[in-house]
Amino acid sequence: MANQKILIIGGGPGGLEVARGIAELGYEAVLVEKRDRLGGTPDEASYAALTPDLRPAEEALNEMIEPVVNHPNVEIMYNTLVHDAEGELGNFRVKALQLGKEVEIEAAAVIVCTGFTHFDPGRETQKYGYYEHDDVITLVDCEKMLKAGNFVRPSNGEKPKRVCFIQCVGSRDRQIGNEYCSKVCCGIASKQAIEIRQHVPDCKVYIFYIDMRMYGYWENEIYWPAQEKYKVNYIKGIATEILKKGDRLLVKGEDTTLRRPMEVPMDMVILSVGMEPSGGTKEMAKIFGLNQNKYGFIETTGGPLDTVSTNVPGVFAVGACTGPADLEDTVSMAGLAAMKAISAMRKLAPVSA
Amino acid sequence: MPVDKNQIVEKEKVVVDGIELTAEWNRMFEQRVVADYDDSVLDRITSIAGAESLGWCYQCGQCVPVCPVDTVGGEYGPRKVYRKVQQGIDLLTDPDLWKCTTCANCLRVCPKAVNMIEIMPAVREEAVMEGEGVPEELQEAFENTFEYGNPLGESQRKRADWVKETGAEVPILKEIKKPVDVLWFVECYPAYHARGKEASAALAHIMNTLGVDYGILGTEEKCSCDSQRLAGETGLFEEFAEENIKTFGKYKFNKILVTDPHALNALRKEYPKYGGEYEVVHYTTFLAPLMKKLEFKNKLDYKVTFHDPCYLGRHNGEFEAPRQCIEALPGVELIEMWRCKANSYCCGGGGGGMWLDGFMADHVQERLSENRVKEAIETGADVLAVCCPYEVSRFEDAVKSTGNEGKLLVKDIAELIREAMG
C-alpha cells in the first residue's frame, strides 16, 4: 500500500495551516521545522502586530500552533533540515538531518512552506546608509522595537520626534534585480506608522512613497485610518539619499506633487524592505527539482487558477516561497494545497467509501 | 539666506519688459527646496469643527480639473490647498482661503468626500473671528448686511420699493392680513439690484396671471445670509435666520417660494437647525408644471443656453425644472453648454465670491463669469438664461469685458417667460 503521509516543510503560518487542514480531514502529516519552535518568520523576526488587523502576532500564532501540536495526526520534527529527496507522487523518500542525525521520511506528497527573507538594504547599494547610520532601520527592526514596547532612536535611546518611512526599498528595482512589488510593505509601513503614533503620540510620522499599494480592505482598514485618524503624512516621492547632519538625518528626495526638491530632517528613517526568497526556499527548489522564477521564488504552474501546484507532481508550494504574499494569501494557499495534496494521494490509492 | 515670506510675490502673470514670464519662471520667486513639513498647521486647521475632512485628501487630483477657480488660472483646488497646508502654509492667512466659491463640483468627484462646503466656512469663520486677512470688500458686504439687512447697503425701508417702481401688483403680507398659499421670499438682489427688480416684476406678472395666492414680506424680509455664512459670517447668519424665522411665524402660508437658489439652500437646509421647517421651492420648480397654463403671444426665436446655478443644481438637485420652463416657450431652442447640469461651471458669485471680485482679479487670469460667457457664445446661443439673481449682472459684465457686447443677451428665466407672454 502506498504511503499515506504528507510532508510539510516549514512551520510558519503556511505550514501550520496546511498541517491543521490535513489533520482535521483525517490524514497524517509530518511537519519538518528547522528551528526548535513553530511560528516561522513572524515569530523569528518578533513581529508585534499583524497586518491588517493589528492583532498581536504572538496571540494569533499561538492560535495557529495550538491545534497542530496537539493533534494526533501531526508529527512535528523540530531542528530538522531536509537535504535530499527522491521518488515521486505517492512515494517520496526525503532525507533530513535532525540535530546532526540522519533521518528518512516517507511521504505521498510534499508541501513546501519555506517562506521569504527580508531584503537586506545593504546588500546591493548603500544608498540609504543602513549599515552607516544607527537611526536608519528597517521594517523588521521597527517591528522588534514595537514588540518590546520601546520605540527609541538607536543612536541615543531617546524618543524620536520625527520619523519617516521610505517605501519600495529592495522592490520594484531593476538594478537590484527585484522588479516585483513586495505587496505588503505599504500596509506594514502604514500599520507601523499607526503603532508609532500610538506609542509616541507627539512623534510626527511621514511616509514617502511612489504609489500606495493598499489593495482591498487594506485601503480602508489601514491607509485611511493612518491618514485620517492618526495623522500620518503621506508624501509622494521617495527619498534618494540620507545624509547625517548633526545628530539628525537629512532625507533628500523630491516632493513630486509640489515638483520641488526636499531636504527634510528626521530623527529616524525606516526602510520599507520587501521580500526575497528565503535560503530554505531556494534549497528546497533545488532538492525537489522545482522550477524557480528569475528571482528565486518557486514557480507555481497554474497561473492565477492554481496557485500551489509545481512542475513536480505531488510537490506543492504555499505562501511567500512562491513570491510576495501576505498572511491572507498564505493561509488561503495552505487550504488549497492541503486539498490538492490529499486529492492527488486519493487518486493513487482510491479509498472505498 | 532665509526667505522673507512677505517678499515673495506670487502672481499668475508677470510681465517684464513686455515679455510674459511663465508660471515656471514665476516659481523661482519661491524658496525652491522643501526644508520641512510643518504639520502643526494641518493639525490646527483640521481640528476646526467642520474642517476635519481637509486632512483626508490622498492627492488623486480629481478635484482640480473641475475646480472653476483653477480653470481660470487660479492655481487652486482642494488637492492643492491640502498640499499647501500639509507643507505648513497657514490657510487662515493665505489668499487661498477666499478663492473657493463653494460651487461643490470638487465634492461631486471627490472619492474621499473632502468637503470644501464645510471646510471653507469653518476656516473662514476662524479668520473672521480673528479679524485676519478678510478681504476688505467682503468685510464691507458683511457690515452692510449687519447694518442694513442686505449686502448691497440699501435701506431696509426700501426693500419693497421695486413693487412700486416696476408697477407690479404684489400683495404684501402685512397689508393683506390673510393667509396665503405661497410666501414669496424675494431676497436682496431681486429686491434691490436694477436687473434683479426687472426679473422680480416679471415673476410677479407670471404669478398674477396664474392666479397664485401669494404675498411677500416686503420691508420685514431680511437677507437669508447663506453666502455670508459660507464666506465665514456664521454669527450674522444665525442672527438673521432667527429674525426671518420669527417673521415667518407671524404669517400663515403653505410654502415658501424663493427667487434665489442661495435662499433656497439656506431655508431648506440650514433654517431647520434653528427651528424653521418649511416647504421651500425655487420659482422654476414652482413654475415648471404650470407652464402649460400660460398663454404665449410672442414667439421668441432665440437660441437659448442655460447656466445651472450651483446652489440650485449641484447643491439642491434641481436640474430639470429650469429647462422645462425654457423649453415650454414658443420658438425657443435650448442648446446645452458642455459643462452643464451636475458638471455646470460656476459664475463665481457663490460662497462670498459676489463680494470678492476685486480680490479675485489679483489671483486669476480671467473671471469665472468671463470663462462661462465665452462657453455660452461658443454654443451659438443668442441668450444666456439664468435663474439665480447673482448671475444676471455678473454675466452681463462679462459679456462686455470679453468684447461680446451685442452677441449674447443675459436674461432671467422669468424675464423670458414674461417676454413670451407679451
Q: Which amino acid is at B168?
A: A
B145 and B212 assigned to the same domain: yes
A145 and A266 assigned to the same domain: yes
B14 and B151 assigned to the same domain: no
Alpha carbon of residue A198 to chain centroid? 24
Give the whole-angstrom CA distance, residue A18 versus residue A9. Answer: 10
- The residue out of B241, B265, B288 marking a domain boundary is B288
Are A233 and B36 an interchain contact pair (Cβ–Cβ within 8 Å)? no
A214 and A229 assigned to the same domain: yes
A143 and A224 assigned to the same domain: yes
Place of cell 479675485: B360
B145 and B222 assigned to the same domain: yes
What are phi and psi for residue A208, nearest 5 degrees?
Answer: -95, 125
Please, which residues bridge with residue A315 across strands?
A: A110
Q: B-chain residues within 8 Å CB-CB of A261?
A: 32-34
A184 and A164 assigned to the same domain: yes
B106 and B30 assigned to the same domain: yes
- The residue out of B114, B133, B152 marking a domain boundary is B133
Are B34 and A261 an interchain contact pair (Cβ–Cβ within 8 Å)? yes
B113 and B155 assigned to the same domain: no
B153 and B241 assigned to the same domain: yes
Q: B-chain residues within 8 Å CB-CB of A262?
A: 33-35
Strands A204-209 and A162-169: parallel
Alpha carbon of residue B318 to chain centroid? 15
A146 and A185 assigned to the same domain: yes
Is there a domain that residue A353 lies in?
no
A151 and A18 assigned to the same domain: no
B283 and B170 assigned to the same domain: yes
B70 and B156 assigned to the same domain: no
Are A261 and B83 an interchain contact pair (Cβ–Cβ within 8 Å)? no
Pick from B339, B344, B292: which is nearest to B316 by CA?
Answer: B344
Which ranges of A119-209 would DSSP assign to H, the alpha helix? 139-147, 185-199
Chain A interface includes B136 (CB < 8 A): no
- For residue B160, the model assigns a pLDDT of 96
- CATH number, domain with residue B408: 3.40.50.10700
pLDDT class of A353 with cuts at 50, 70, 90? very low
For B405, the domain range is 293-421
Residue A236: Cβ within 10 Å count: 18
Q: Which amino acid is at A336?
A: L
- The residue out of A274, A296, A322 marking a domain boundary is A274
- Cβ-Cβ contacts under 8 Å for A173 (sequence gap 6 or more): A179
Alpha-carbon torsion, ordered B202, B206, B208, B211, to 10 deg: -170
A251 and A166 assigned to the same domain: yes
Place of cell 498541517: A19
What are phi and psi for residue B215, nearest 5 degrees?
Answer: -160, 160
- CATH number, domain with residue A208: 3.50.50.60
Angle at B158 between CA B153 and CA B163, to 5 degrees: 130
B168 and B67 assigned to the same domain: no
Q: Which amino acid is at B236?
A: L
Helix (H, G, I), strand (E, B) or coil at B354: helix
What are phi and psi for residue B187, nearest 5 degrees?
Answer: 75, 165
Give burial (CB, 10 Å; 0-12/13-18/19+) of B336: middle
- The residue out of A274, A294, A323 marking a domain boundary is A274
Q: B-chain residues within 8 Å CB-CB of A228?
A: 55-56
Give the whole-angstrom CA distance, residue B361 versus residue B98. Answer: 12
B332 and B384 assigned to the same domain: yes
A25 and A162 assigned to the same domain: no
Give the orientation angle of helix B194-210 with respect to helix B391-401, to 10 degrees: 130
Q: pLDDT digits over A201-231, tens only?
A: 999 999 999 999 999 999 999 999 999 999 9
- Nearest chain A Cα to B53, which residue? A228
- For residue B10, the model assigns a pLDDT of 52
Q: Are B177 and B138 in contact (CB under 8 A)?
A: no
Plot region of A79 (φ>0 → left; ψ -120 to 50 → alpha; else → beta):
left
Give the whole-angstrom CA distance, residue B263 versus residue B280. Answer: 9
What DSSP string runs through A217-276? Answer: THIIIIIHHHHHTS-PEEEES-EEEEEEETTEEEEEEEETTTTEEEEEEESEEEEEE-EE
- For residue A123, the model assigns a pLDDT of 76
User: How many domains in chain B?
Assistant: 3
Give burial (CB, 10 Å; 0-12/13-18/19+) of A302: exposed
ipTM of the shown complex = 0.82
Give the whole-angstrom CA distance, residue B260 versus residue A264. Answer: 50
Q: pLDDT digits over A142-178, tens only?
A: 999 999 999 999 999 999 999 999 999 999 999 899 9
A170 and A258 assigned to the same domain: yes
Are A231 and B56 an interchain contact pair (Cβ–Cβ within 8 Å)? no
Please, which residues bridge with residue A245 across strands?
A: A248
- Going residue by residue through chain B, which has 422 residues, state the pLDDT in tens, using 9 for 90 and above: 455 555 555 555 666 666 666 555 555 555 688 888 888 999 999 999 999 999 999 999 999 999 999 999 888 999 999 999 998 999 999 999 999 999 999 999 999 999 999 999 999 999 999 987 899 999 999 999 999 999 999 999 999 999 999 898 999 999 999 999 999 999 999 999 999 999 999 999 999 999 999 999 999 999 999 999 999 999 999 999 999 999 999 999 999 999 999 999 999 999 999 999 999 999 999 999 999 999 999 999 999 999 999 999 999 999 999 999 999 999 999 999 999 999 999 999 999 999 999 999 999 999 999 999 999 999 999 999 999 999 999 999 999 999 999 999 999 999 999 999 99
Chain B interface includes A240 (CB < 8 A): no
- CATH number, domain with residue B123: 1.10.1060
Pick from A336, A293, A318, A329: which is nearest to A8 by CA?
Answer: A318
Q: Are A264 and B38 in contact (CB under 8 A)?
A: no
Tell me the nearest-neighbour CA distance from A304 into chain B, angstroms.
Answer: 30
Preceding amide of A52 cis, omega within 30:
yes
A243 and A260 assigned to the same domain: yes
Q: A-chain residues within 8 Å CB-CB of B37?
A: 204, 206, 233, 235, 264
- For residue A122, the model assigns a pLDDT of 85
Residue A260 has its nearest CB partner, among B32, B42, B55, at B32
Please, which residues bridge with residue A167 across strands?
A: none
% of chain A with per-residue pLDDT over 70: 97
Q: Are A186 and A273 in contact (CB under 8 A)?
A: no
- For residue A349, the model assigns a pLDDT of 75
User: How many domains in chain A?
Assistant: 2
- The residue out of A256, A274, A292 marking a domain boundary is A274
- For residue B1, the model assigns a pLDDT of 46
- The residue out of B93, B109, B133 marking a domain boundary is B133
Are B39 and A231 an interchain contact pair (Cβ–Cβ within 8 Å)? yes
A101 and A129 assigned to the same domain: no
Give the whole-angstrom CA distance, residue A322 versus residue A299. Answer: 6
B101 and B172 assigned to the same domain: no
For A325, the domain range is 5-115+278-348
pLDDT class of A134 with cuts at 50, 70, 90? very high
Give the whole-angstrom CA distance, residue A307 versus residue A334. Answer: 10
Q: pLDDT digits over A29-87, tens only?
A: 999 999 999 999 999 999 999 999 999 999 999 999 999 999 999 999 999 999 999 99
Q: For chain A, give me the number of helices (H) and strands (E)?
A: 9, 18
Q: B-chain residues within 8 Å CB-CB of A235?
A: 37, 86
Question: How many residue pairs bridge chain A and chain B with CB atoms within 8 Å of each other?
Answer: 50
B152 and B284 assigned to the same domain: yes
DSSP A196: H
A111 and A145 assigned to the same domain: no
